[in-house]
A and B are shown apart, each in its own frame.
Chain A
Amino acid sequence: MERDSSTDVDPLTKLNPRERARIVRIEGHEATELAGYGLYAGIEIQVKQRFPSYIVQTDEAELALEPAVARKIFVLRL
């Protein structure tokens, strides 16, 4: 089925624990730093935890993010 891809793009904060998604874009000045940690457009991630911080897994690395940063990461659910 064809879907309009733009409507499926959500900030990471919309994901539930265990949900997988692909990063579409990252806004804000944290983008460079996040790239160093392995988060950039095209990468597949999984949300592991939402509280007290967001925990996101890429490959075998886990990253803790505060909500303000998670909000700037836009993803496409898989």
Chain B
Amino acid sequence: MGSRSKATVLLEDPSELVVLDNPALPDTGRVVLIGQANVGKSVVFSRLTSRYVTISNFPGTTVEIFHGRVNLDGETVEIIDTPGINSTYASTEDERAALRVLQEDSPELIVQVADAKNMRRTLRLTAQLAQFGIPMVLTLNMMDECERKGIYVDADILSKKLGIPVVQTVATTGAGLDGLKKVLRSRQRCSLNGHEPFQWVEDALASAQRSTPGETQKLETRTKWFTFLALFGSLLHLENYFGAWLGLPTLATSFQTFFETQDFPEILTESLTVILAYLLPVLVPVLWAVGKDHGFNERFGVWARQVLPGTLILVVTMSLVFQLVGVLGAQTLVGILEEGIFSGYVTPFLQDILPSGFLNDLVVGQYGVVSMGIAYAVAIVLPVVSTFFIAFSFLEDSGYLPRLSILSDRLLRAMGLHGKALLPMVLGLGCVTMATMTTRILRSKKERFVATFLLALGVPCSAQLGVILGITSGISLKALLIVFGTVASQLVFVGFVLSKLYPGQRSSFVLEVPPIRYPDWKNIFRKTYWRVVWFLKEALPLFAIGALALFVLDKLQLLGKITSASEPVITGLLGLPKEAAAVFLVGFLRRDYGAAGLFDLSRQGQLDSIQIVVGLVVLTLFVPCIANSLVIVKEQGLWKALGMIAFVFVYAVCVGGVLNWLLHTFGIVL
């Protein structure tokens, strides 16, 4: 924060904005976009900013905070996008991350982006945000949908009542965004005409001041508001909140005592209702058009959350995703990159220019850094992952995933989770490491543990999935069903057992269901781009290191020893050729690495059908990759992580052994 000049004087009239010291340097203002989920914040953000400067993984959370810049007549303004929030009570990880931006980045302006269809909710949040005393602008987005539904909002009256600029936009078409840019330099505070609903906050503060004067003084004014507002809904996290976040442990106890004597949610609802009663008349006339629009999207949205049509839609969606990821990604693009570019040009070229011997072996040998490491990452895994992320971002933005959560809620509840856990599970099909980080959206410890465990155990990442589909399509549908059936049944079984064994409660399932919308392609490619970049940063070094490690082990003749040492398990129990040892070895590094290795083995014709099926099952259930293991340690602690990994290892081998035995004993033809 420090380097930025703080000389901007906040005046009522934006045209009077002056910079006091060093007029030669354009001052960079900081603007934060805040709003509920799915109101179009990301689209507004990408429309406003010409390019992305950084994407920060918020410390301690995984929530992505995007930073960008917008140029206003030669003055640069930094724009920060935040995760969607429903309230300023910091009851979820997302809310905490967004509030942290307000607290720590000291923005000069809050732009509240809102869905104009839901004015009541919008204004509740406006009233809460107003308490921070930071200048505000209200953006009523989705005006096109409002119009179609016949909802009319009078922005001028609202602006007068709130005392801040109110603009109306359709982010997807860009309508109204110039108007938004114009008011970005406004510095008007939201005044609710003398309504002071948060008197009790002052009371709480006074009470805390009496008991712990020292610690209270450490809170600067804004932090005070921030803290108190954040307290609602997080009474349970109080200690964590003050102790770990602000480093003020005794204050927690002091507030706890104060809050225990009051019925806060009640007070809160009441005070907000007062404000709403004051604001709502300005929304009149809210006209309900006679024939409400029931477009195809709306009907689709209803079908997708009902049992029968929903299941049908799921099957169709899955086969479309399969066409994109399994066929276009795993077959066409891998073919072009692997056979065409790497085996065709890159490797032969390097083999020619490098002197034969050590260097040649190191770079392009059997375990070469390029011929194995980079080629696996770029030619086999990258196409699969990229196509998966496109599909995932599309589903995410279309509003389909919450409907899938509704359909799967009951099954997930049997496993100690609920519908919301579907999101990390589906994301896990892209990259389990990324998904493990998003388990933070789950509220209770138990849910996070179970979800992390299941992700580590059996959710195949997209590269594995692509490989599974790619290989089994060469055998039979039966083989594919056996692989998936075995893995899925293990997930359900282990989840069920865990939910019984792990103490604690799961949180309740409450989920907003956004309307089905046709996604914005720009937004999809932006998300896909960042996810792929993240993936490459994460994966490329490990792929190279893996090849290097195998190369060294091979040169030291240790690889052979490891292979023969693991022979009883690999050849004996699992019935695989001993070359598979190297596959599992790199599988420790990354599961998709192992999968790529298995793909390679089977393409060389070294595996029969049963071996392929057993190999795929074991590799899917096999230990989480290093990156994922590190994340598990971070999220769950060392001991739980080690326990998890040890269990998964033994379990994977046992399931593989049993499957191998079953397939042979019953002479199943694949």
Contact = CB atoms under 8 A, between A and B. Distances in A.
A54 to B, nearest CB: 10
Contacts of B307: 51-52
A30 interface: yes
Contact of A66 (B268, B272, B402, B413): B413
Given A30-B510, A33-B233, A66-B508, A53 B419 contact: yes
A15 interface: no
A40 to B, nearest CB: 5
B508 A38 contact: no
Given A31-B265, A53-B419, A65-B510, A36 B409 contact: no
A63 interface: yes
B306 interface: yes
Residue from B149, B273, B508, B512 having most chain A Cβ neighbours under 10 A: B508
Interface string B244-275: 00000000000000000000010011001100
Contact of A53 (B121, B149, B409): B409
Interface string A22-58: 0000000111111111101111000011011101001
Contact of A32 (B115, B120, B265): B265
B406 A35 contact: no
Contact of B509 (A35, A38, A66): A66
Contact of A61 (B118, B232, B419): B118
Given A52-B307, A66-B508, A59 B119 contact: yes
B410 interface: yes
Contact of B512 (A30, A43, A52, A62): A62
B342 interface: no
A68 B509 CA distance: 9
B511 A63 contact: yes
B409 A66 contact: yes
Contacts of B118: 38, 59-61
Contacts of A36: 86-87, 89, 91, 124, 233
A37 B409 contact: no
Contacts of A21: none
Contacts of B124: 35-36, 38
Nearest to A60: B117
Nearest to A69: B508
Contacts of A68: 508
B19 to A, nearest CB: 38
B194 to A, nearest CB: 23
B141 interface: no
Contacts of A9: none
Contacts of A31: 265
A62 B513 contact: yes
Nearest to B420: A64
A51 B310 CA distance: 12
Name A's interface SS.
mixed
B406 A53 contact: yes
Interface residues of B, number: 41
B143 to A, nearest CB: 13
Contacts of B508: 30, 65-66, 68-69
A2 to B, nearest CB: 26
B120 A59 contact: yes
A65 to B, nearest CB: 6
Interface string A5-24: 00000000000000000000
A69 B91 contact: no
A65 B515 CA distance: 16
Residue from A43, A49, A60, A62 having most chain B Cβ neighbours under 10 A: A60
A31 B87 CA distance: 13
Contacts of B302: 48
B272 to A, nearest CB: 8
Interface string B296-333: 00000010011100000000000000000000000000
A43 B229 CA distance: 23
A63 B515 CA distance: 11
B232 A32 contact: yes
A34 B513 contact: no
Contact of B273 (A30, A42, A59, A61): A42
B46 interface: no
Contacts of B30: none
B405 interface: yes
A51 to B, nearest CB: 7
Contacts of B418: 66
Nearest to A39: B510
B459 interface: no
Contacts of B407: 52
Contact of B86 (A30, A37, A52, A66): A37
A55 B513 contact: yes
B151 interface: yes
B169 to A, nearest CB: 17
A37 B512 contact: yes
A55 B510 contact: no
Nearest to B411: A52
A16 to B, nearest CB: 16
A35 B405 contact: no
Interface in B442-480: none
A39 to B, nearest CB: 9
A6 B273 CA distance: 23
Contacts of B406: 52-53, 55, 64
A49 B559 CA distance: 59
Nearest to B310: A52
A41 B269 contact: yes
Contacts of B86: 33, 36-37
Contacts of A32: 87, 89, 91, 232-233, 265, 268
A60 B268 CA distance: 23
Nearest to A53: B406
Nearest to B86: A36
Contacts of A29: 236
Contacts of A63: 510-513
Given A36-B91, A66-B419, 12 more contacts: A32-B233, A32-B268, A33-B510, A34-B510, A35-B124, A53-B409, A58-B120, A63-B511, A64-B419, A65-B508, A66-B413, A69-B508
* Shortest 4 CB-CB contacts between residues of A and residues of B: A36-B86, A60-B117, A36-B87, A66-B509
Interface of A: 29-38, 40-43, 48-49, 51-53, 55, 58-66, 68-69
26 contacts: A32-B89, A33-B91, A35-B265, A35-B268, A35-B269, A36-B86, A36-B91, A38-B120, A40-B269, A40-B273, A42-B273, A43-B120, A51-B307, A52-B307, A52-B407, A53-B406, A53-B419, A53-B511, A55-B513, A59-B121, A61-B512, A64-B406, A64-B513, A65-B508, A66-B409, A66-B419
